[in-house]
Structure 1
Amino acid sequence: MKYRAFYRITVIVFMFIKFLWQIFWFRRTHRFWDESAREKWESLLVNQAKEYRKKSLELEGLLIKFGQFLSTRADLLPPVFLHELEGLVDRVEPVPPHISKEIIQKEWNGNIEDYIQDIEDQPVASASIGEVYKAYLLDGTPVAIKVQRHRVEEIFRTDFKALRIVFWILARVTSFGKKADLGALYRELVMVISKELDFQKELKHSLNFQKRYQDWEGVYVPEYYEHLSTRRVLVMEWIEGAKVTDSSFIRENGLNREQIAKRVFDLFTDQLVSAGMFHADPHSGNLMIRSDGTLVMIDFGMVGEIKQEDASNIRMMIQGFILDDYDAVIRSLEKMDFLLPHANQQKVKRLLKETADMYLAGNFEKFDQDVINQILSDVQEFVQDQPIQLPADYAFLGRASSIVIGVLTSVYPEVDLMKWGKPVIQQWVSGNDSNESIYLNVLKESAKPLLSLPRSVNQFLTDGALERAWKERYYQRKLFHQFYLFYGLLSFIVFTLSAGVAGFGYVEGLDILLYIGISVSGASLLSLLLIFIRHFRNIYLITNNRRNNSE
């Protein structure tokens, strides 16, 4: 029955309608959200997620991939639902082997015996889209043959129709359609999942990663046999090893857990902070470890991409947080298509600032898994409540980051992510892969008050209205802020020159120059200290005044 279009569409659409009715009835019968109502609400969502998982494994096809896709969308679903979907494993009952072999023969336009001498009877892995068999080429070389499941494209096309109906219902009978761009979301879903149906695309991704990491010590991407690979069949080198999280294998081969974890960390931070492709499904089944400690990365069906422009926008967004410039943060979010058209930018900007201030006020000396989980949870809650819709690549980026953290803590529970991450972040913000670094932009922004001093003086002296306006003291302090910067710079220059004079006098034995240099440098240093104290106090008053005005 699962191959019949009418049956599949009916089951899928009915399940979603049932979920919507349960949510509607619950909200209608629970007007007041006390602790008891919240517990019942979370219980309802958990039961719905479990039913979805069960139905996915029964029908196979798109529901499994759709569930994995939804598990990345913190902007769409509540955390309790996401948690259940995270455990949706892409393993299904295998297709009868003779059917898979017929597909291989059809793709190769000939008998299997013309290309391989042997193929095992049962697959070593079976997923919703493809199955993997171990085989041997004519020269005896062991290979892994990934073959597309029987009628899988037909099933996916049917399921896409069912989901189109579901999205149409969501857009018209729920408020969800106002928050999310469901049309764009559906197209994004079709585009992302359709890529996995074409093994030629996976081959292209694999070759990209192979070239990228060919010179990395301790990292390996298998060889692929392009002349045997088609749209429905993919042939690659057979890898002997175990999952990277296999403790017994690591122990038996005398491997160092910390070194393995560091290798995983370096491999994926390179992908997650740099422009280019990243592995979007880096779970332990796709990360293998050889007996010599070599890390092997496989299965590139699900990948994301960070474009150079996006990497620059992310860097500019971080710069906005550093400089307290939330207009720049909003502009970056807009360029990356994070904000929906109807988003209230002022509200989002205020919430971003409040959230950033909250974290900046905290203590991150102990930056462990619990802290990361709390941050991810807060981010999920934030994007779910706000008019933010994550593009697929960024959703997969977040999911990949979370999976890698899980792998790292499983391989090496004592992992210190802060220690390993600091050098990466320092290199990243320095702008090695861009024309300008954050440091240079920070310097530019810091110089703006100094460069605008003459204009500010003229404005203050000529605009008599400022003396009568309620902002008088604010503008005065802002003016003094620029004066402090100017005289601080001047004091620093005088200190440097006088120290040079003192040094010259000491070397040449000229006491008068030595005494003058020491005296002037001491005075200028004292002046610089006083200016710093007054400047710090002035910044505090300006900031406090800004917050009071915003309230």
Structure 2
Amino acid sequence: MLGVGNTLKFNLFYRCFIFVWLAVKFISQIYLFHLRHRIWDQRTRIKWNSLLERQAKEYREKAVRLGGVLIKVGQFMSTRADFMPEVFIKELSGLVDKVPPMSFDYAKNLLEQEWGTELDTHLQSIETSSVASASIGEVYQAELHDGSSVAIKVQRYRVDDIFHMDFKALKLVFRVISLFTSFGKKADLNALYNELIQVMDKELDFEQELAYGAYFRDRYAENNSIHIPAYYERLCTKRVLVMEWIDGAKVTDFTYLNEHNISPELLAKRLFDFYLDQFMNHGYFHADPHAGNILVQQDGTISIIDFGMVSDVRKQDTLYFKKIIQGLIVNDYDTIIETMDEMNFILPNADRKKLKKMIRKTIEIYESGSFRNMDSQAMDQLKEDLRVFINEQPIQVSADYAYLGRAASIILGILVHLYPEIDIEKMAKPKIKQFFGGKNLTDSIYKEIVKDTAKPILSYPRAMLNWLENGEKDRQWEKEQQHTHLMHHFFLLLEGVNVLLIFAGFVAFAYFTFHSLPLIGGTILGIFLVSLALILRKHYKFIKLRK
């Protein structure tokens, strides 16, 4: 029988409560911290990082226990260095579908149910211990009667129900974020929510994953350095996938690479070519390229597994990319701004002149190679200018490119880890030339295209790279106007929480009244009502005092 904890795991109200409570708790803690710490010195930053680390650990523990969307969102956040703090990213970076394994008895029953026959009809043997345990599926190694070694992916118990409950809970969380945070006012959260749901919902359909696997196998059939596993379609269903077993290790397993004399530089180049082709040309791209999904075989062949998370680059997107690159080449910043507008990167009330000036300044620094000679004081000033600019301007990462940015950031991290001396410029030149149509299009501009397209990345000192990858904006709440704005939103947040509590109080009142204990229910409801009245009174005094 399921225990109380496991029973609650499948309860919509409980999951919604955990989602919303985590969001409200974290936002409240952040508001309170900024209210209490007006001066941001070294001691304050240490306390700030400690708070974020505690929050990240609590989130990770909840995600591992409840599974579902919490894990997927945690994975997504762990790669969003554009707005997530570094300490949060470090804590969640290991959250790659870490969930407790399920019972083999359940897997066996599901397989027999999906196949309509006993296991030994199709399988000669199967390992009872799973080789991978994910939020959506469990993977087992088995052998068919013809001797073929296969990986069998079985969908977890009621995972479809869990995810669709979490989709509703996530909607509430996005509502809280939109009401009580500055990020919610800058970003198009509805579009981001829809993008997340669309991609995660596809992961629940193994028949869709089968179709994606076939697509990539056909697309890269001529690429001898990349291997896409074959699927046994006759054994695949909506909840079961059977594919070729791949003997190998994670692409970042240096012990394995050394044992088989595999060059990390060569692997990095192959990965770069494989993913850049997906990112720059229209079609589907592998949206979950973490090291566990990229295996290397003994002969150095790279195998890509798990096509549950896939998104697409539209033909229009490739035109946007070309316009931005061309704008950078000829210093046409108006075209860059217009293209960013078309891509929904800039919200309507952004200061486009200021944005153009910042882009021009950054490009000039790139071209001059000033990053190499910049002292710490100049670096700090540039950091502060960028921080203020990002804080003030309504710029967003469009939801349409959320998974593309996530995949690109993961791959960049793997490439640098795999081969720190990677020469992006050298590898990018032929790809950029091909992207612009070869000789017919690039004869007149190719020299300018390759001049410094990738060199700025290589010219950053390591400290600058660390900062650019650090999503923490180090915002300082020093002005009285900011403090007033913060207090106002804090009161709104407390009032919102109390409204939720009052709703819970009504539920408690009805529950205890039904069990002939109206006094207890009335007391709980009364406490919440009085609490809301006190907060409203204090909020009113605060507003009146500052008129």
TM-score (norm 1): 0.72
**Post-superposition shift, 1:245?**
2.3
- Measured in 1, the distance between the counterparts of 2:143 and 2:85 equals 47
1:379 and 1:397 map into 2 onto residues whose CA distance is 24
Structure 2 residue identity aligned to 1:325 = D
In structure 2, relative to structure 1, the CA distance for the partners of 1:282 and 1:436 (3 Å cut) is: same
1:269 deviates by 2.4
1:244–1:284 contact (8 Å) kept in structure 2: yes
- Tell whether 2:217 aligns with 1:210: yes
Residue among 406, 409, 415 paired with 1:399: 406
Does 2:48 correspond to 1:41?
yes
Q: Is the 8 A contact 2:433 2:442 kept in 1?
A: no
| Higher mean displacement: 126-135 or 164-173 | 164-173
Residue 263 of structure 2 is matched in structure 1 by 256
- Of 4, 9, 24, 2:11 maps to 4
Name the counterpart of 2:238.
Answer: 231
Contact 1:77 1:384 (C-alpha < 8 Å) held by counterparts: no
For residues 81-133 of structure 1, the C-alpha deviation after alignment (integer angstroms, 9 at most, x for no partner) is 33433332212111101112222222223333333232211111001111111
Residue type at the aligned position of 1:148? Q
Equivalent position SS for 1:146? strand
1:431 aligns with one of 429, 437, 440 = 437
Instruction: Choose the corresponding residue for 1:275, options 264, 274, 282.
Output: 282
CA contact (8 A) 1:257 1:412 kept: yes
Counterpart of 2:302 in structure 1 is 295
The one-letter code of the counterpart of 1:163 is L
Aligned counterparts of 2:209 and 2:351: Cα–Cα separation in 1:
40
How far apart are the structure 1 equivalents of 2:304 and 2:389? 33
Q: CA deviation at 1:64?
A: 0.6
- Give the letter for the 1:266 counterpart: D
- Residue identity opposite 2:245 in structure 1: W
Q: Structure 1 residue 327: deviation in Å? A: 1.4
User: Of residues 134, 148, 165 in structure 2, which corresponds to 1:141?
Assistant: 148
Provide the residue aligned with 1:190 in structure 2: 197
| 8 Å CA contact retained: 1:306, 1:393 | no
- 2:174/2:189 contact within 8 Å kept: yes
Secondary structure of the structure 1 residue equivalent to 2:241: strand
Aligned equivalent of 2:425: 418
Aligned to 2:34: 27
Q: 1:307 offset after TM fit, Å? A: 1.4
Aligned equivalent of 1:99: 106
Aligned-residue offset at 1:352:
2.0
Structure-1 residue corresponding to 2:23: 16
Report if aligned partners of 1:75, 1:389 keep a CA contact under 8 Å in 2: no
Counterpart position of 1:52 = 59
Check 1:425–1:165 CA distance in 2 against 1; reply closer, same or farther (3 A cut): same
Q: Which runs of 5+ in 1 are unaligned?
A: 367-374, 444-551
| 1:322 positional shift | 1.8
Paired AA for residue 299 in structure 2 = D
Could you tell me how far 1:63 is from its partner in structure 2?
0.5
CA 1:353–1:193: 2 relative to 1, 3 Å = same
Identity of aligned residues (%): 48
SS at match of 1:319: helix
CA-based RMSD: 3.0
In terms of Rg, which structure is larger? 1
Check the 8 A contact 1:94/1:126 in 2, yes or no.
yes
Q: TM-score, normalised by structure 2?
A: 0.72
Local SS of the residue matching 1:84:
helix
| Offset of residue 259 of structure 1 | 2.5
Aligned residues: 433
Shift of the alpha carbon at 1:409?
A: 3.7
- Which secondary structure state, in structure 1, belongs to the residue aligned with residue 285 of structure 2? strand
| Distance in 2 (alpha carbons) for counterparts of 1:104 and 1:381 | 56
For 1:521-544, what per-residue CA distance to the aligned partner results, in whole angstroms no more than 9, with x for missing partners? xxxxxxxxxxxxxxxxxxxxxxxx
Q: How does 1:236-251 map to 2 (within 5 A)?
A: 236-251=243-258
2:359 is the counterpart of 1:352 = yes
| CA pair 134-161 structure 1, distance change in 2 beyond 3 A | same
Task: State whether residues 319 and 438 of structure 1, in contact with CA within 8 Å, keep that contact through their aligned partners in structure 2.
Answer: no
Whose RCO is larger (CA < 8 A, sep 6+)? 2
| Secondary structure at the counterpart of residue 278 of structure 1 | strand
CA–CA distance in structure 1, aligned partners of residues 77 and 388 of structure 2: 15
Q: 1:384 to 1:220 in 2, by over 3 A?
A: farther
1:117 paired residue number:
124
CA–CA separation in structure 2 for the residues paired with 1:282 and 1:198: 19
Q: Report the 3-state secondary structure (helix = DSSP H, G, I; strand = E; otherwise coil) of the residue aligned with 2:209.
A: helix
Question: Superposition pairs for residues 67-82 of structure 1, below 5 Å?
Answer: 67-82=74-89
**CA 1:380–1:32: 2 relative to 1, 3 Å:** closer
Q: Secondary structure at the match of 1:156?
A: helix
The residue that corresponds to 1:313 in the other structure is 320
- Alignment correspondent of 1:327: 334
Q: Could you tell me which amino acid in structure 2 is paired with residue 225 of structure 1?
A: Y
Tell me the residue number matched to 2:524: none
Following TM superposition, by how much is the alpha carbon of 1:215 offset from its aligned partner in structure 2, in angstroms?
Answer: 0.7
Q: 2 CA distance for matches of 1:192 and 1:11?
A: 23
Report the residue type matching 2:418 in the other structure.
Answer: V
Instruction: Kindly report which structure 2 residues correspond to 1:448-487, keeping only aligned pairs within 5 A, or say none.
Output: none
- In the TM superposition, residue 437 of structure 1 has moved relative to its aligned partner by 5.0
How far is 1:6 from its partner?
2.6
Match of 1:157 in 2: 164
Distance 1:407 1:351 in 2: 30
Counterpart selection for 1:175 from 177, 182, 185: 182
